[in-house]
C-alpha cells in the first residue's frame, strides 16, 4: 500500500469514522462523511485495493452491504486517531497559550 491512498478527499475521516462505528452500511456512509456518491465509492474502491476495508452482505432480503475494517485497516485507523489527538492537543495548547498571553497583556495594561 502506498500512503497516497490516504491523500484523497475524506479518506482519513472515513477510516476514523469506520473505526469508531465498527461496521457501517454503505447507505449511511454518505451522510456521515458528508461526501458525494462518487467520492464515497472512490474511497471505498481505493481502501479495498489497499486491503484496509472489506465489504460484507448482511441479513436476508433486503440485504445490507456493510463496510468493515480489516486488521490492517484497524491499525491504520488507530494511528490516524493518535495523530488527530496530537493535533487537537497542540491546537488546545496553542489556544491556551494565546489566552494566557492576552490575559497577561491586559493585566500589564491595567498596571500602567
- 18: domain CATH number is 1.10.10.10
Mean pLDDT, 10 residues at a time, the chain of 112 residues: 73 90 84 79 91 89 88 95 86 64 62 60
**40, three cell numbers:** 464515497
Q: d(Cα 42, Cα 57) in Å, to the nearest integer?
A: 19
Is 112 part of a structural domain of the chain?
no
Split into its structural domains, the chain has a count of: 1
Report pLDDT for 19.
Answer: 94
Is 111 part of a structural domain of the chain?
no
pTM: 0.71
- Enclosing domain of residue 28: 3-106
Is 48 part of a structural domain of the chain?
yes
Is 23 part of a structural domain of the chain?
yes
- Upstream peptide bond of 75 is cis (omega within 30 degrees of 0): no
Report pLDDT for 53.
Answer: 95
Amino acid at each position: 500500500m502506498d500512503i497516497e491512498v490516504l491523500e484523497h478527499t475524506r479518506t482519513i475521516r472515513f477510516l476514523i469514522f469506520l473505526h469508531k462505528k465498527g461496521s457501517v452500511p454503505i447507505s449511511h456512509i454518505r451522510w456521515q462523511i458528508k461526501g458525494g456518491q462518487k467520492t464515497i465509492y472512490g474511497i471505498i474502491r481505493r481502501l479495498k485495493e489497499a486491503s484496509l476495508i472489506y465489504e460484507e452482505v448482511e441479513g436476508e432480503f433486503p440485504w445490507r452491504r456493510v463496510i468493515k475494517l480489516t486488521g490492517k485497516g484497524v491499525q491504520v485507523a488507530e494511528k490516524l486517531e493518535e495523530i488527530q489527538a496530537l493535533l487537537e492537543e497542540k491546537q488546545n495548547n496553542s489556544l491556551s497559550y494565546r489566552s494566557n498571553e492576552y490575559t497577561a497583556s491586559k493585566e500589564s495594561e491595567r498596571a500602567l
